[in-house]
């Protein structure tokens, strides 16, 4: 009976019931044409001292100068010896060196405020539901965006990666980064440079002990989570480098997935919401088959 109960309990809060169609079913059945390879230059690979690997997809179309800085920092191994030094519950995990060490050549000391960008040049697939923060939203090149007139911005969703900064006009260099480990703190949108998202290993950040000092800083460095190396996948030998694909947000499969997330009819759901939050319609990413 125990096994049966576990099996039935396993249906609790899940999207794994076999039929009707669930989001995981739809993603698993997506045709190859619905997937796009992520360039190795857009994959930032953090290997923790523990051996755990965290992979971040960079967003050069939205924060080109910050992303160029991050690539330069990775190539110069600037982050060697860096650590996760701040974990604030229901908010962020933050990493880097948290000191004033010198930046290597090629890093722009004061990047522009790449907090949003022109809609022109982006192919935006409209998000069909209400957004609580912007008059319109959508997806562009695999990324969720909020749209205000002629401007679009990446949104702070779970696993979004942004650039720590001091007060304006400072925009941060990219040396100190944070990842969202909570509900979507969308008030940060258009106030900070979003440079990507964690696509593998976010749980290695979200499950860390919260820091006891104000804003989740650890009281001493011995509490930090050390990062062994931070490299671009393109700097890792092809045989060893991770490789990922992202779903084409302009594909019929993705449009269907968003509608399905707003209208769950699988076993557990008796009353579909008829809508979904932009951040609760994450863009599927998978390790390359």
Which residues inside 193-222 make contact with a copy of itself, applying CB under 8 A?
A: 202-203, 206-210, 214-215, 217
CA distance 136 to 124: 11
Cβ-based neighbour number of residue 29 at 10 Å: 10
Q: What is the dihedral of CA 182, 184, 185, 187, to 10 degrees?
A: 180
**Residue closer to a copy of itself (CB basis): 16 or 123:** 16
10-39 positions binding a copy of itself, by CB under 8 A: 10-14, 16
Does residue number 182 form part of the binding site for a copy of itself (CB under 8 A)? yes
Helix (H) or strand (E) holding 43: strand 43-48
| Buried-state track 149-183, b at ≥16 Cβ within 10 A, e below 16 | eebbbbbbbbbbbbbbbeeeeebbbbbbbbbbbee
Interatomic CA distance for residues 127 and 261, integer angstroms: 12
Residue 278, interface with a copy of itself (CB under 8 A)?
yes
Residue identified by tokens 């160029």 is 68
Cα 243 from Cα 67, distance rounded (Å): 19
Residue from 57, 69, 94, 249 in contact with a copy of itself (CB under 8 A): 94
Q: Are 174 and 66 in contact (CB under 8 A)?
A: yes
Quick check: 277 binds a copy of itself (CB under 8 A)?
A: yes
For residue 224, give the nearest of 121, 101, 81 by alpha carbon: 81
In angstroms, give the least distance from the CB of 255 to a copy of itself.
Answer: 18
Convert residues 41-80 into a mask of x (bound to a copy of itself by CB under 8 A) and - (unbound): ----------------------------------------
Q: With CB under 8 A as the contact rule, which of the stretches 31-39, 58-66, 249-257, 276-284 interacts with a copy of itself?
A: 276-284
Q: Does 100 bind a copy of itself (CB under 8 A)?
A: yes
Nearer to a copy of itself, 19 or 238 (CB): 19
What H or E segment, with its residue span, contains residue 153? strand 151-154
Q: Which of these ranges, 4-12, 25-33, 38-46, 241-249, lies near a copy of itself under the rule CB under 8 A?
A: 4-12
Q: Which of residues 108-147 bind a copy of itself (CB under 8 A)?
A: 115, 129-133
Closer Cβ to a copy of itself, 33 or 191, answer by number: 191
Q: How far is the CB of 191 from a copy of itself (least distance, A)?
A: 5
CB under 8 A: which stretch of 60-68, 71-79, 179-187, 239-247 binds a copy of itself?
A: 179-187
C-beta separation of 195 from 161 below 8 A:
yes
Contact 216, 89 (CB under 8 A): yes
DSSP state of 90: T
Size of the site for a copy of itself (CB under 8 A): 76
103 secondary structure, DSSP code = P
CB of 115 to a copy of itself, least distance (A): 8
Is 188 near a copy of itself (CB under 8 A)?
yes
Least spacing, CB of residue 106 vs a copy of itself, in Å = 23
Nearer residue to a copy of itself within complex by CB, 33 or 90: 90
If the CB atoms of residues 28 and 132 are measured against a copy of itself, the closer one turns out to be: 132
């Amino acid at each position: 009976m125990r096994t049966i109960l576990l099996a039935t309990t396993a249906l609790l809060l899940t999207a794994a019931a076999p039929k009707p169609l669930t989001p995981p079913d739809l993603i698993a059945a997506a045709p190859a044409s619905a997937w796009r390879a992520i360039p190795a230059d857009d994959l930032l690979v953090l290997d923790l001292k523990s051996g755990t690997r965290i992979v971040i997809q960079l967003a050069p179309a939205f924060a080109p100068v910050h992303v160029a800085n991050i690539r330069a920092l990775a190539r110069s191994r600037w982050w060697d010896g860096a650590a996760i030094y701040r974990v604030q519950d229901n908010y962020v995990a933050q990493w880097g060196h948290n000191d004033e060490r010198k930046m290597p050549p090629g890093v722009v000391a004061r990047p522009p405020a790449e907090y949003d960008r022109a809609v022109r040049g982006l192919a935006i697939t409209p998000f069909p539901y209400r957004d609580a923060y912007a008059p319109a939203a959508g997806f562009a090149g695999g990324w969720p965006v909020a749209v205000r007139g002629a401007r679009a911005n990446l949104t702070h969703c779970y696993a979004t990666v942004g650039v720590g900064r001091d007060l304006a006009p400072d925009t941060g260099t990219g040396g100190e980064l944070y990842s969202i480990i909570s509900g979507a703190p969308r008030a940060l949108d258009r106030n900070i440079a979003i440079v990507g998202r964690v696509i593998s290993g976010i749980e290695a950040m979200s499950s860390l002990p919260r820091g006891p000092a104000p804003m989740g800083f650890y009281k001493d460095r011995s509490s930090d989570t050390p990062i062994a190396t931070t490299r671009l996948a393109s700097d890792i030998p092809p045989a060893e480098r991770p490789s990922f694909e992202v779903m084409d947000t302009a594909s019929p499969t993705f449009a269907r997935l968003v509608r399905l997330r707003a209208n769950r009819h699988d076993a557990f759901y008796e009353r579909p919401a008829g809508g979904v939050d932009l951040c609760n319609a994450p863009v599927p990413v998978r390790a390359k088959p």
